[in-house]
């Protein structure tokens, strides 16, 4: 069960990362990167960030580009949340393929 504090921290990180990705959109090969969810560990040391990438072709390349820039993204996040949190969590990025799964189900049902 996730505590209230963890859910608030997750939402704040999701909001701030979304703004960071929106501001740095040109550096991700013209792809739209959306932060779909963030899960924070109980000690606030690790944040698993699930991103959705549109258009879907070459999304593995885009994810690798995001992982290469994770230190700069973490720094930008730290600048935004430095007054609310003492420690900025490490960021681990994963692809959220739930939209692809939904499209596949819709296609199969038609």
* Residue entry with tokens 């703004």: 19
Select from 46, 44, 33 the least CA-distant residue to 96. 33
Find, among 53, 56, 44, 43, the residue nearest to 93 by Cα: 53
The count of structural domains within the chain is: 1
Per-residue pLDDT tens over the stretch 22-33 = 988 777 777 889
**Which domain covers residue 27, as residue numbers?**
4-109
What whole-number distance in Å separates Cα of residue 95 and Cα of residue 57? Answer: 13
- The pTM of the full predicted model, rounded to 2 decimals, is 0.87
Each residue of 45-92: pLDDT tens digit?
Answer: 999 999 998 887 888 999 999 999 999 999 999 999 999 889 999 999
Domain CATH code at residue 52: 3.30.300.20
Torsion on CA atoms 47, 16, 68, 60, rounded to nearest 10: 80
What CA–CA distance (Å, rounded) separates 49 from 106? 26
DSSP secondary-structure letter at 56? -
């Amino acid at each position: 069960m996730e505590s209230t504090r963890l859910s608030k921290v997750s939402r704040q990180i999701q909001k701030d990362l979304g703004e960071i990705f929106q501001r740095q959109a040109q550096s991700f090969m013209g792809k739209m990167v959306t932060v779909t969810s963030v899960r924070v560990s109980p000690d606030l040391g690790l944040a698993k960030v699930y991103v959705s990438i549109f258009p879907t072709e070459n999304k593995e390349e885009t994810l690798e580009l995001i992982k290469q820039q994770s230190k700069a993204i973490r720094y930008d996040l730290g600048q935004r949340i430095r007054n609310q949190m003492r420690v900025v969590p490490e960021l681990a990025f994963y692809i959220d393929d739930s939209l692809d799964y939904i499209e596949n189900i819709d296609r199969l049902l038609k």
